[in-house]
Amino acid sequence: MIESMKSDAIRGPGRVPVRLKVNDREVELSVEPRTTLLDALRQELNLTGTKRVCDSGACGACTVLLDGEAVYSCMTLAITCEGRSVETIESLTGSSADAPALHPIQEAFIAEDGYQCGFCTPGQIMAAKSLLARNAAPSHEEIRRGMSGNLCRCGAYQKIFAAVGRAAHEMSGEG
């Protein structure tokens, strides 16, 4: 049990309990203050869909949604997510393991070949989700801008643009 914290309490440097919501589930982590959200997701919760690539906020592969906003989980301390809601790539898929229902953005990435090695893909998809939540019908330039915080070394950009455009179309009900 966590005692209710005094607001100016000094916590750590050892492991401290941190409560947050991950993919709609309440979880209690035991992490050091220095642990990043990325490492907490991958190493404490075994949610390995979110990838560590640059570990310095310079590639976008670790993008998750924090209270609905796309952020780099590698530059976010897990302890600062206390009481907040985190969505990772694993939240997008339906619950049935046999026939996971894919999110329209995921379907669009498959249909348009919006990936190659796939390592940046979870981050791309979370960035796309954030973009489409703000702008349901982005123009080509708006897609470029909205996706500009996610690098793809394989160079799938052209097809990522197409995938985001396709997903917008599908999600708007015009598909």
Partner 1 sequence: MKRFSFAAPGSAREAVRLLAENEDARLMAGGVDLGHEMKRGIRSPSLVVHLSRVARLDGITLNDGRLEIGALTKIQALESNEVVLEHAPLLAAAAREVATPQLRAMGTVAGNILQRPQCWYYRDPDSFCLRKGGKHCHAVAGDNRYHAILGGGPCHIVCPSDLAPALLALGASAVVTAPDETERTVPLSELFVGPGVDPHNEHVLAHGEVVTRLVLPSSAGLANAFLKARERTAWDFALSSVSALCDTGPDGAVRSARLVLGGVAPNPWDAAEAAESLVGRPLDDDAIGAAAAASVRGARPLRDNAYKVELTQRLVTKALERLRGD
Partner 2 sequence: MAKLVKTKVEFEGHIREEEVVVERDDLTAWSAASPMTHVGEPRPRIDGPARVTGAAEYTSDVRLPRMLWGVVKRSPHPHARIRAIDTSPARALPGVVDILTHENCGDISWYDESRLLDSTVRYHGEEVACIVAEDEQTALDALDLIAVEYEVLHHVVDIEAAAEPTAPQIHPGLKPGGNRTAEPSTYLRGNMEQGISEADVTVAASYRTPCALHSSFETHGSVVSWEADELTVWDSTQNIFGVRSGVASKLGLPLAKVRVISRYMGGGFGSKNDVGKYTILAAIASRRTGRPVRIMLSREEEFLSAGHRPPAIVNVELGAKRDGRLTFIRARSLSTPGAHGRGGFQVCGPFREYYQCDNVETVQDAVYTNTGPACAFRAPGYVEGTFALESAMDELAGKLGMDPLELRIRNHAERNQPRDMPYSQKHLLEAYEQGATAIGWKGRRDTASPTATGGRHAASGTVRGIGMASQGWGGGGSPPSYALVRLNPDGTFDVMTGTHDLGTGTKTVMTQVAAEELGVGMDRIRITIGDTLTCPYSLLSAGSLTVPSVGPTVRAAAHDAKRQILDIAGSLLDVDPGRLSVADGVISDSGDSSRTVSVDEIAAKIGNYMVIGKGARGPNPSDVSVNTFGAQFAEVEVDTSTGEVRVLRVVAAHELGRVLNPLTLSSQIEGGVFQAAGLALMEERVLDPATGRFVNPNFSEYRLPTTFDVPKVESLFVGPPDEQSNNTGAKGAGEPPIIPTAAAIANAVSSAIGVRIRELPLTRERVLAALKERR
CA angle 42, 58, 158 (to 5 degrees): 95
Following DSSP, what letter does each residue of 100-125 receive, concatenated? PPPPHHHHHHHHHT--SS-SSHHHHH
The residue among 21, 37, 17 whose CA lies nearest residue 29 is: 17
Rounded CA separation 60/40 (Å): 17
In the complex, what is the shortest distance from the CB of residue 89 to partner 1, in angstroms, rounded to a whole number? 15
The answer to whether 104 contacts partner 1 (rule: CB under 8 A) is no
76 vs 106, beta carbon nearer partner 2? 106
Contact criterion met (CB below 8 Å) for 64 and 52:
no
The answer to whether 10 contacts partner 1 (rule: CB under 8 A) is yes
Residues 107-126 that bind partner 2 (CB under 8 A): 109-111, 113, 115-122, 125
- The encoded tokens of residue 151 equal 């690098």
Residues 128-157 that bind partner 1 (CB under 8 A): 130-131, 145-146, 148-150
The answer to whether 61 contacts partner 2 (rule: CB under 8 A) is yes
Region near partner 2 per CB under 8 A, out of 19-27, 31-39, 65-73, 130-138: 31-39
The answer to whether 50 contacts partner 1 (rule: CB under 8 A) is no
7 vs 95, beta carbon nearer partner 1? 7
> In what order do the strands lie in the sheet containing 25-31?
25-31, 16-22, 85-87, 63-66, 69-72
Rounded CA separation 58/54 (Å): 6
**Per-position x/- string for 140-159, each x denoting binding to partner 2 as judged by CB under 8 A, each - no binding:** ---xxx-xx-xx-xxxxxxx
In the complex, what is the shortest distance from the CB of residue 129 to partner 1, in angstroms, rounded to a whole number? 12
The answer to whether 33 contacts partner 1 (rule: CB under 8 A) is yes
- The encoded tokens of residue 136 equal 């349901």
Residues that bind partner 1 (CB under 8 A): 7-14, 16, 32-34, 55-58, 60, 63, 69-72, 75-77, 79-80, 82, 127, 130-131, 145-146, 148-150
